[in-house]
Amino acid sequence: MIFKRILCLALCSILWSVKGFSQKLTLDQTTTGVDFKFGDKLLLTYQTAMADVQEGVNSEFKKSGFIHPLRTLSGQLLTRIQPSGHYHHYGIWGPWTKTTVQGREVDFWNLGDGKGRVDFDQILSMKEEEGYLELLVGQHHMDLLSPSGPQLAMYEELAIRVWQPKEGAYLVDYSSKVSVALPEGIRLEEYRYGGGLGFRAVESWHPGNSIIMTSEGLEWGAADGSTAKWVMISGDSGDSSGQSGILLLSHPQNWAHPEPLRVWPEDSNEGKANVFVNITPIRYEGRELKHGESYVLKYRMVIFDGRMDAERATRFWADFAAF
């Protein structure tokens, strides 16, 4: 009888191991977006449909072309969209803020100003390869202030690649290639917000239960305005470890690497639900984008449960830097 029980436990262990090993990465296109899945787990969604706003909110805040939800392997939600007072915040996204287009100031981020916006245009390709999934989409950056009516200012090809999970984490590559559609070109003005990569964390995180740390060892307010190879954001979660997080990596080929950061101070938003980080390559130096040329920014996100120390984060960055 004891032998049978031991044999049963061994067989069950093998079956569970086989089940875990057989989990596949798959892409699922829906009416609202493209889901990246690992077995039956939703890892992230790229939103192709316009996300509606609640009653009473300016309809200009509707938006497509962003990542939300973003979840860890244990299912912990990391992103948030349309927080009160910041309806232009959309999970993970990267529109430029202060730009000059044909002599006019155009803001592609704040939406409610009605100056510009960035939205999904079309799916260019979808791949399910051995070891990773990749979605390539087009996004149009529209200038809404042109005297002749809304016009395309920049076109972006955004590649999102999710790698096969291992060691309790998974990697997401986020690569943006922008081309200028206007013969005069566009200037990205020096500003503390814009471009790069923006991350608005889940509502439950605040300075009392979350950590922000950079490759230079700076945290929260000290990290704001600093430059870094990577920035890690983690906080309390429902995972068995009690914590989950995201590590944002900047590639050495990016034009402002190591890149400047915008990190909200601990007392912003009255100290509640205020975890926001923006990798901002133009924070200290503007950039001219010329017609006929393409500009590439490459980032990698490490999505994890548990705790991550600086040594492990640096190893992840070194792997990405060599990629």
DSSP per-residue codes, 115-133 = SEEEEEEEEEEEEEETTEE
Question: What pLDDT score does 22 carry?
Answer: 60
| pLDDT tens digit at each of 323 positions of the chain | 444 444 444 444 444 344 444 689 999 999 999 999 999 999 999 999 999 999 999 999 999 999 999 999 999 999 999 999 999 999 999 999 999 999 999 999 999 999 999 999 999 999 999 999 999 999 999 999 999 999 999 999 999 999 999 989 999 999 999 999 999 999 999 999 998 999 999 999 999 999 999 999 999 999 999 999 999 999 999 999 999 999 999 999 999 999 999 999 999 999 999 999 999 999 999 999 999 999 999 999 999 999 999 999 999 999 999 99
* Token pair listed for 52: 């509606």
The four Cα atoms 88, 94, 100, 105 give a dihedral, to 10 degrees, of: 0
Tell me the torsion sign for CA atoms 281, 150, 87, 177: negative
Q: Which CATH number fits domain 27-321: 1.10.10, 1.10.150, 2.70.98, 2.60.40?
A: 2.70.98
Radius of gyration of the chain (CA): 21
Asked if 160 and 92 touch (Cβ cutoff 8 Å), the reply is no
Question: What pLDDT score does 66 carry?
Answer: 98
Neighbour count for residue 307 (Cβ, 10 Å): 13
Asked if 163 and 129 touch (Cβ cutoff 8 Å), the reply is no
Residue 94 to residue 97: CA distance in whole angstroms: 9
Neighbour count for residue 41 (Cβ, 10 Å): 14
